[in-house]
Amino acid sequence: MRFEVTAPAEHAGSTLTITLEEPAPGHLFLRFAYRTRLGETSGDPDASFSEYVKSAYHESDVDTVRMIRVLAADTRHPQ
C-alpha cells in the first residue's frame, strides 16, 4: 500500500509505503518505508521536527501491527 500526503503551503508532505513480504514460507513481514520532504541533516532547521515525525510514524506502525494481530487472533478463535 502507498499513502501520499500532498504538500500544502504549511506542510512538507510525505509518503508511506507498506510492503507485505514473505522471506520464508509462512513467515510474513511488514516493511514500513517513509519519505518526507523535511531536511534531515544536522544544522537543518527541520531536522529535529523530522525526528519527531519519524517517531510518530513508528508509534503508528506499532499500533497497526498490534491491531492486525488482534484481528488475526479473533479470526482464528471466533467467539
For the chain, the structural domain boundaries read: 2-76
Residue 79: the pLDDT is: 61
**Cα distance between residue 12 and residue 25, in whole Å:** 39
**For 22-66, what is each residue's pLDDT tens digit?**
999 989 888 988 887 776 666 767 667 777 777 888 898 899 889
Query: 31 - beta bridge partners?
Result: 19
Residue 13: the pLDDT is: 74
Summarize the confidence of residues 4-26 as an average pLDDT. 82
E strand or H helix at 24: strand 14-24
Residue 66: the pLDDT is: 92
Lateral strand order in the sheet of 27-36:
2-5, 14-24, 27-36
**Contacts of 10 by beta carbon, 8 Å cutoff, 6+ apart:** none
